[in-house]
Structure 1
């Protein structure tokens, strides 16, 4: 079933708005993935501040024209799933990478970060970028370890002075 021109323009404007506010984007081929799995992926995406759309390539090409994600145009064929990272540049890459590990027919085509195309084989670079939550947890762990270490050193120096 085809959609009319008004709906197409609305979809293009919506994608363009998301593109302007996103840090990175990852495209994938959703072939042979049933809708239940895509819905689970969308649910996980909402938790991680990732916007996911399955869209025709002609509409996507028009939506990403003159944006930082224009470099993705070369890889667009058939229907495409596009995931935008809103708060952390690696969150969409991590989400789709983990999903592709569970679903072998799901293929990542590539990603765009800071206007540059990243091949699907190099997605691990974006996956390795920690989220804010992970960064805060690591910082808290480091502070905790440093505090405990300082306490132990202080107690040891008091013990040594008493002897």
Structure 2
């Protein structure tokens, strides 16, 4: 049986991880086996620049913390080596960076993820990673909203243009 001190430390680790999971808007769980220390260092640096926290935790600690944070459905994937990447402010950054890294490292695999408190599958993480950047999505949405207005302006403009042409023809006829 573990000592009281070790048990208290583990409970604190679980509580801290649960708070991090609750505060995060998105996260990705990965199997990091088979990558070199050099590749792992590059991945951590890229994640750090995107303000994504990346750490390796024991599966039992992740499981308890996920349960405390209200994330159910992760127990089936918590086998083998597991690392977790979380972001408190960007929904797609962990998925984009991890999926890009997994694409160039065949042994590095995405297990699952979570978005705003809901567990998502590996396929959904990859789908999230393929989304265009936020600026492109906003531009497409604004373009979609702007199209009907532009069409309406063109119709009104065509009517005014027709009126000007008719008035010009009348003026030319009267002057001739």
- TM-score scaled to structure 2, two decimals? 0.68
User: How many aligned residue pairs are there?
Assistant: 160
Gaps of 5+ in 2: 142-176
Q: 2:51 aligns with which of 45, 49, 52?
A: 49
Gaps of 5+ in 1: 140-163
Q: 1:71 aligns with which of 67, 70, 73?
A: 73
Structure 1: distance between partners of 2:129 and 2:65: 25
Shift of 1:17: 2.1
Task: Between 67-76 and 46-55, report the one with greater CA deviation.
Answer: 67-76
Shift of 1:50: 0.9
Q: Deviations over 1:57-106 (max 9, x none)?
A: 01111122232433322210122111112211111011110000111110
Look at both structures and tell me which one has the larger radius of gyration over its CA atoms: 2
Does residue 31 of structure 2 align to residue 29 of structure 1? yes
Task: Between 115-124 and 130-139, report the one with greater CA deviation.
Answer: 130-139
Counting strand residues as a fraction of each chain, which structure ranks higher? 1
Task: Decide whether the 8 Å contact of 1:89 with 1:129 is kept in 2.
Answer: no
SS at match of 2:96: helix
Q: Which residue of 2 aligns with 1:89?
A: 91
Task: Decide whether the 8 Å contact of 1:71 with 1:112 is kept in 2.
Answer: no
Task: Show the 5 A alignment for 1:83-162.
Answer: 83-130=85-132
Q: 2:82 aligns with which of 77, 80, 83?
A: 80
Quote the RMSD (CA, aligned, Å): 3.5
